[in-house]
């Protein structure tokens, strides 16, 4: 009887906590507009740190600023999953991402000084994070709607994932979104996916790219409390739907102008 009473007490207490947190999130939580603004601010800090501290130096200030920038990608991945699920027209959503992936590619190359000459391979060596976001949606759409065999879907999916290799966050961005979508509504599971794939990304970066870049990936842990307080609401500012799409290539253009003014036409990527 004591054991039974104890279990009932625990369940009642747990239900009360869940009810309280849901009520708190509804009143004081973060809506999608607020989360997107957090992502935008973090991204701006991250990218402009590249201007003032080029080469990803292992120093306290740039490491801290780049650490803040780790908030951006997981928030973007989370909202691609939400956007794909809630959009009324998936094809238009996919087309919109594709168009801005192309626009952002040239803005990204200009922002960081990546050569646009296709003969040198520069234009194909790096691209923005918008491309893997687009590819992830293409993969989700294909698996839900395409009448291909499973073998063909697997081949196409593999090719699409590897096509994102030159992008910011590389193939990891695609993999995170695809796996996170399968865990919609379970933030802890989604966070586990983010941590797992980011660890792989950090390990590869540490071994072959930049030790500093690998170390700052620990900053993605900060995204859990931010996403935890998401209240599921869109927010009143409807213009925010387009703000990120416009702001992303625009801030890269400003970044490129600053780069030219400070360093001349040099490549700031590592």
Q: What is the CA radius of gyration of the chain?
A: 20
Low-confidence winner among 118-127, 199-208, 210-219 (lowest mean pLDDT): 118-127
pLDDT score for 23: 55
Quick check: 168 pLDDT over 70? Answer: yes
Q: What is the pLDDT of residues 46-85, one digit of tens each?
A: 999 999 999 888 999 999 999 999 999 999 999 999 999 9
Q: What percent of the chain shows pLDDT beyond 70?
A: 86
Between 255 and 11, the more confident residue is 255
Please state, in angstroms and rounded to a whole number, the distance separating the CA atoms of residues 18 and 12. 10
Neighbours of 228 (CB within 10 A): 14
Quick check: 29 pLDDT over 90? Answer: no
pTM of the predicted model, to two decimals? 0.88
pLDDT score for 114: 87
| DSSP string of the chain, one letter each residue | -HHHHHHHHHHHHHHHHHHHHHHHHHHHSB-HHHHHHHHHHHHHHHHHHHHHSTT----HHHHHHHHHHTTHHHHHHHHHHHHHHH-S-HHHHHHHHHHHHHHHHHHHHHHHT----TTTTHHHH-B-THHHHHHHHHHHHHHHH----HHHHHHHHHHHHHHTTTBTTHHHHHHHHHHHHTTTT-HHHHHHHHHHHHHHHHHHHHHHT-HHHHHGGGGGGGHHHHHHTB-S---S-TTHHHHHHHHHHHHHHHHHHHHHHHH-S-----
Contact 246, 98 (CB under 8 A): no
Q: Which residues are paired to 127 by β-bridges? A: 167
pLDDT score for 13: 52
Q: Is 210 left (phi over 0), alpha (psi -120 to 50) or beta?
A: beta
pLDDT score for 120: 55
Quick check: 20 pLDDT over 50? Answer: no
Q: What is the pLDDT of residues 221-251, one digit of tens each?
A: 999 999 999 998 887 877 887 898 999 999 9
Q: What's the mean pLDDT in 103-115? A: 92
Q: What's the mean pLDDT in 13-33? A: 61
Question: In residues, how long is the chain?
Answer: 270
Quick check: 3 pLDDT over 70? Answer: no
Burial class (CB in 10 A: 0-12, 13-18, 19+), 109: buried
Q: What's the mean pLDDT in 163-170? A: 93
pLDDT score for 267: 85
Quick check: 24 pLDDT over 90? Answer: no
């Amino acid at each position: 009887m004591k054991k039974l009473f104890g279990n009932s007490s625990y369940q009642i207490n747990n239900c009360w906590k869940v009810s309280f947190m849901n009520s708190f999130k509804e009143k004081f939580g973060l809506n999608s507009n607020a989360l997107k603004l957090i992502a935008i601010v973090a991204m701006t800090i991250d990218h402009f740190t590249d201007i003032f501290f080029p080469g990803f130096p292992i120093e306290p200030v740039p490491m801290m600023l780049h650490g803040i920038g780790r908030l951006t990608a997981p928030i973007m991945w989370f909202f691609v999953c939400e956007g794909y699920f809630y959009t009324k027209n998936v094809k238009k959503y996919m087309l919109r991402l594709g168009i801005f992936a192309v626009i952002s590619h040239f803005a990204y190359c200009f922002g960081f000084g990546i050569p646009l000459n296709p003969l040198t391979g520069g234009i194909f060596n790096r691209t923005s994070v918008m491309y893997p976001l687009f590819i992830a949606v293409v993969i989700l759409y294909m698996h839900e709607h395409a009448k291909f065999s499973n073998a063909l879907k697997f081949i196409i999916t593999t090719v699409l994932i590897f096509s994102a290799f030159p992008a910011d966050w590389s193939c990891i961005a695609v993999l995170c979104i695809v796996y996170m979508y399968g865990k919609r509504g379970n933030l802890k599971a989604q966070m586990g996916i983010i941590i797992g794939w980011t660890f792989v990304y950090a390990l590869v970066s540490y071994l072959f790219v930049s030790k500093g870049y690998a170390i700052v990936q620990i900053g993605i842990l900060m995204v859990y409390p931010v996403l935890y307080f998401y209240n599921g609401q869109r927010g009143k500012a409807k213009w925010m739907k387009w703000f990120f799409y416009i702001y992303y290539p625009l801030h890269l253009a400003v970044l490129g102008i600053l780069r030219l003014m400070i360093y001349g036409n040099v490549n700031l990527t590592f």
